């Protein structure tokens, strides 16, 4: 079960078992049409250690339809807006893969559990693994709450915001790691990794490292006083190729339209990167600024669209817009304590 997500430019995630596939193969991108775009985005986070709660404020500025289908683009944009900023637990930072439809994760996990329990032909190999995976997804879902959301105007353009809380963050991190473990083992058991090795998307050594990581239950990401640490298994040849490509990209940078939004995101995140290490068969990224509890990003995207025409259509469709809400008050939803 899968809903087509609103995306900032042209990328969305896999269409089957979206939550598991995104976690197990984050580097694989599939291209598809998209329905919603924006000129600029602000991302603000605050962590309260006393309550172990992460607050996240997402502000989408200059919203406009992203579809290239002239006959349907306005309506598709409105439909996407209803999903993203209509109360659903769907969040996006720039583009896929930083797009999450937690409601879809929940629905797909529930569907998987129902199919396993009611299948006429009875139990099948791998059912217990898939059952654990689905239950973990439902458990992780409970940590996220959408506190408030809405549409407003800023400098005459249509904007939107979402204020999210992640409660019991350390437990959510442990659950997220367990979910990745189960997703990797599920992909291995289903033969999905073998297909990716055959196509050249992955090499066998990387697959072996990922499966070993999952079986040992070594964390993929963790939080400490220094910030967020992401540890991704990758074979030595792939690590070497990644370093070579990074240097070549900086030396002779050619950005196509699909990659440009992520270049802007990387540029913003670069101020929070404490270290990038290649300790053998892995890549370890540590993110954390002077105060790891706080993160503030302002991402300007390279493309823009007809926001005025879209605003007229949104008004005609009757979507509620708070015309008296200034963006400064939206930003106050997440306040720094120092």
Measured at the alpha carbon of residue 80, what is the angle toward residues 61 and 260, in degrees to the nearest 5? Answer: 50
Beta strands in 7-98 (DSSP E): 11-12, 30-31, 36-48, 53-65, 90-92
| Stated pTM of the model | 0.75
Write b or e for each residue in 31-58: b if 16 or more Cβ atoms lie within 10 A of its Cβ, otherwise e. eeebbbbbbbbbbbbbbeeeeebbbbbb
User: pLDDT per residue over 74-128, tens digit each?
Assistant: 888 898 888 878 888 888 877 655 677 888 888 988 998 898 888 888 777 778 8
The average pLDDT across 125-147 equals 86
| Helix (H/G/I), strand (E/B), else coil: 145 | strand
Question: How many whole angstroms separate alpha carbon 162 and alpha carbon 105?
Answer: 19
Cβ contacts of 116 within 8 Å, gap of 6 or more: 123, 127, 130, 131, 134
Predicted pLDDT of residue 122:
79
CA distances from 182 to 67, 192, 277 (A): 35, 14, 26
Taking a C-beta distance cutoff of 8 angstroms, is the pair 227, 274 a contact? yes
State the pairing for strand pair 99-101/144-154: unpaired
- Does residue 336 register a pLDDT over 60? no
> For the CA atoms of 171, 172, 178, 180, what is the dihedral angle to 10 degrees?
-160
pLDDT tens per residue, range 211-224: 999 999 999 988 87
């Amino acid at each position: 079960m899968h809903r087509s997500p609103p995306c900032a430019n042209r990328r969305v995630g896999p269409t089957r078992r979206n939550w598991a596939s995104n976690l197990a193969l984050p580097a694989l991108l599939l291209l598809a049409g998209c329905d919603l775009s924006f000129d600029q985005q602000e991302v603000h986070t605050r962590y309260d250690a006393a309550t172990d709660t992460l607050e996240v404020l997402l502000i989408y500025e200059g919203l406009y339809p992203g579809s290239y289908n002239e006959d349907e683009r306005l309506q598709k944009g409105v439909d996407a807006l209803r999903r993203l900023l209509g109360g659903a637990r769907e969040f996006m930072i720039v583009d896929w893969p930083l797009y999450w439809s937690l409601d879809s994760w929940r629905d797909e996990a529930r569907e998987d559990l129902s199919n396993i329990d009611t299948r006429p032909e009875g139990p099948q190999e791998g059912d217990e693994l898939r059952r654990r995976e689905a239950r973990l997804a439902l458990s992780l879902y409970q940590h996220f709450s959408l506190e408030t959301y809405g549409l407003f105007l800023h400098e005459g353009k249509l904007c939107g915001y979402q204020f999210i809380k992640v409660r019991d963050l350390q437990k959510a991190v442990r659950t997220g790691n367990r979910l990745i473990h189960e997703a990797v083992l599920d992909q291995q058991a289903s033969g999905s990794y073998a297909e990716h090795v055959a196509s050249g998307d992955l090499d066998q050594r990387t697959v072996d490292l990922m499966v070993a990581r999952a079986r040992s239950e070594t964390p993929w990401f963790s939080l400490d006083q220094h910030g967020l640490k992401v540890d991704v298994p990758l074979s030595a040849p792939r690590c070497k190729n990644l370093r070579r490509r990074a240097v070549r990209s900086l030396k002779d940078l050619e950005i196509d339209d699909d990659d440009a939004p992520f270049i802007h995101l990387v540029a913003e995140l670069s101020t929070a990167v404490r270290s990038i290490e290649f300790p053998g068969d892995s890549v370890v990224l540590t993110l954390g600024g002077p105060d790891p509890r706080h993160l503030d990003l302002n991402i300007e995207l390279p493309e823009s669209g007809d926001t005025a025409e879209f605003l007229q259509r949104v008004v005609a469709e009757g979507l509620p817009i708070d015309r008296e809400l200034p963006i400064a008050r939206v930003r106050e939803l997440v306040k720094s304590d120092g």
